[in-house]
């Protein structure tokens, strides 16, 4: 469901209305009252046939088969006394979001669910709830590691952001820029290339073409603008190539995304969060998908935030959420 104070519940309802076939495929881990409110908010101005979408509360994933046609199946996955105030950061909303994420993760880890699609959460709300993880990726990683009985360090994950024509995987995620620069090590870069290669192979691509971006302007210009390309990135690429991975670079970061979009590469490995996410969000925020690589289950998410300014208006678009659902269905169909 995402943060109940944001647009997550509304875009979920809109997705079910726009794609009725999803009613036989998806279960919402959320709060019944919050989703009932979303049904009312998003019904204004819709055709009567579409307004008829109903909510069916179920106990677990196995009950989906018994849900009547025209109903959105919801599991009460969190303890929320009443729907959260729209657009307000609160620990109550953050806790509810975290509880829903954990419920969904366990459903996927036990094999009850084929994949997890997460609606947007608010990092400040998570923190206000006492959740020590900064976002979905780290929380899901911890849930998976705990279920498997291994330390988090033994389950490395990476974030991939995709829009039509461009996919990019990040070496580091939610850390300061200073910490991100320190994360550009041969081991981290090589691990990212390996995780990327493995994901695309599981998705049915025998030999994905992986472009690795440089860190510095012009990829360091032979050491004139920094030595990270020479000392960290290029050695990782060479090791990956020795393993049979089609990795190339380091490429100039100001042009590599354009080249990938033109078809030269299947995916770009970017050195830090904003380097990789700015081009994706510029090209396709409404259809962007966030995929977590390295988890033992498929997880996707819209490439946008909670949009507190739109919460409660019923005007938020479900396009990115539907793209995330499509990506999850495609990944689990292979």
| Bridge partners, residue 211, by sequence | 248, 268
pLDDT of residue 50 exceeding 60: no
Q: Which residue has the higher pLDDT, 18 or 134?
A: 18
Angstrom distance (rounded) from CA 5 to CA 86:
4
| Among the listed residues 130, 178, 183, 131, the one whose alpha carbon sits nearest the alpha carbon of residue 159 | 183
Over range 13-28, report the average pLDDT. Answer: 94
Would you state the torsion angle of the CA atoms of residues 218, 223, 227, 231, taken in this order, to the nearest 10 degrees?
A: 110
Tens of pLDDT along 143-153? 999 999 999 99
pLDDT of residue 331 exceeding 90: no
| pLDDT reported for residue 46 | 55
| Among the listed residues 159, 175, 124, the one whose alpha carbon sits nearest the alpha carbon of residue 289 | 159
Decide if 8-153 and 158-278 have a common fold: yes
CATH number of 8-153: 3.40.718.10
pLDDT of residue 266 exceeding 60: yes
| Among the listed residues 86, 85, 100, the one whose alpha carbon sits nearest the alpha carbon of residue 31 | 100
Angstrom distance (rounded) from CA 2 to CA 120:
5
DSSP letter, residue 83: P
pTM of the model as a whole: 0.88
CB 268 within 8 A of CB 169: yes
Tens of pLDDT along 276-315? 999 998 987 678 899 999 999 999 999 889 999 999 999 9
| pLDDT reported for residue 51 | 53
pLDDT band at 57 (very low <50, low <70, confident <90, very high): very high
Q: What percent of the chain has pLDDT over 70?
A: 97
Cis peptide before 32 (omega within 30 of 0): no
pLDDT of residue 48 exceeding 60: no
| pLDDT reported for residue 49 | 41
Alpha helices in 224-318 (DSSP H): 228, 234-242, 256-261, 273-284
Angstrom distance (rounded) from CA 63 to CA 75:
10
| pLDDT reported for residue 115 | 96
The two three-digit tokens of residue 286, written as one number:
């409404």
Q: Domains of the chain: which residue ranges?
A: 8-153, 158-278
Angstrom distance (rounded) from CA 259 to CA 70:
45
| Bridge partners, residue 58, by sequence | 75
CB 92 within 8 A of CB 104: no
| pLDDT reported for residue 287 | 82
CA angle, 253 then 122 then 257, to 5° = 15
User: CA dist 260 to 3, 21, 148, 204, 257, Å?
Assistant: 34, 33, 36, 19, 5
Write out the DSSP string of 110-138: TTS-SEEE-----HHHHHHTT--SSSHHH
| pLDDT reported for residue 134 | 85
Q: What are the strands of the beta sheet with 27-30, ordered from one edge?
A: 27-30, 71-76, 54-58
The two three-digit tokens of residue 319, written as one number:
């396009």
Tens of pLDDT along 246-265? 999 999 999 999 999 999 99
Tens of pLDDT along 103-143? 999 999 999 999 999 999 999 999 999 999 888 989 999 99
Write out the DSSP string of 156-176: --EEEEEETTEEEEES--SS-
Tens of pLDDT along 194-233? 999 999 998 889 999 999 999 999 998 899 999 999 999 9
| pLDDT reported for residue 173 | 85
Q: Could you name the CATH architecture of 158-278?
A: 3-Layer(aba) Sandwich (3.40)
| Bridge partners, residue 54, by sequence | 71
Helix and strand tally (H, E) in the chain?
13, 11
């Amino acid at each position: 469901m995402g943060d109940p104070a944001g647009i997550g519940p509304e875009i979920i309802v809109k997705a079910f209305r726009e794609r009725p076939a999803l009613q036989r495929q998806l279960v919402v881990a959320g709060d019944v009252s919050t989703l009932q409110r979303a049904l009312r908010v998003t019904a204004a101005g819709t055709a009567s046939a579409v307004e008829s979408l109903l909510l069916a509360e179920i106990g677990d994933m196995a009950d989906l088969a018994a849900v009547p046609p025209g109903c959105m199946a919801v599991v009460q996955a969190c303890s929320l006394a009443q729907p959260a105030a729209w657009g307000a950061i609160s620990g109550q909303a953050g806790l509810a979001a975290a509880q829903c994420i954990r419920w969904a993760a366990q459903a996927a880890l036990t094999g009850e669910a084929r994949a997890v699609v997460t609606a947007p959460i608010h990092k400040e709300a998570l923190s206000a709830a006492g959740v020590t993880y900064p976002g979905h990726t780290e929380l899901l990683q911890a849930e998976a590691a705990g279920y498997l009985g291994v330390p988090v360090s033994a389950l490395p994950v990476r974030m991939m952001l995709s829009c039509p024509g461009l996919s990019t995987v990040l070496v580091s995620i939610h850390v300061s820029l200073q910490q991100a620069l320190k994360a550009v090590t041969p081991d981290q870069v090589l691990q990212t290339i390996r995780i990327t290669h493995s994901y695309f192979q599981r998705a049915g691509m025998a030999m994905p073409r992986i472009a690795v971006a440089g860190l510095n302007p012009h990829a360091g210009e032979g050491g004139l603008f920094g030595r990270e390309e020479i000392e960290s990135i290029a050695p990782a690429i060479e090791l990956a190539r020795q393993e049979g991975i089609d990795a190339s670079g380091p490429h100039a970061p100001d042009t590599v995304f354009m080249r990938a979009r033109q078809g030269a590469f299947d995916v770009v490995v970017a050195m830090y969060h904003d380097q990789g996410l700015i081009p994706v969000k510029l090209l396709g925020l409404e259809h962007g998908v966030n995929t977590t690589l390295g988890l033992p289950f498929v997880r996707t998410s819209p490439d946008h935030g909670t949009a507190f300014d739109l919460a409660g208006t019923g005007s938020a678009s479900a396009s990115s959420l539907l793209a995330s659902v499509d990506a999850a269905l495609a990944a689990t169909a292979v």
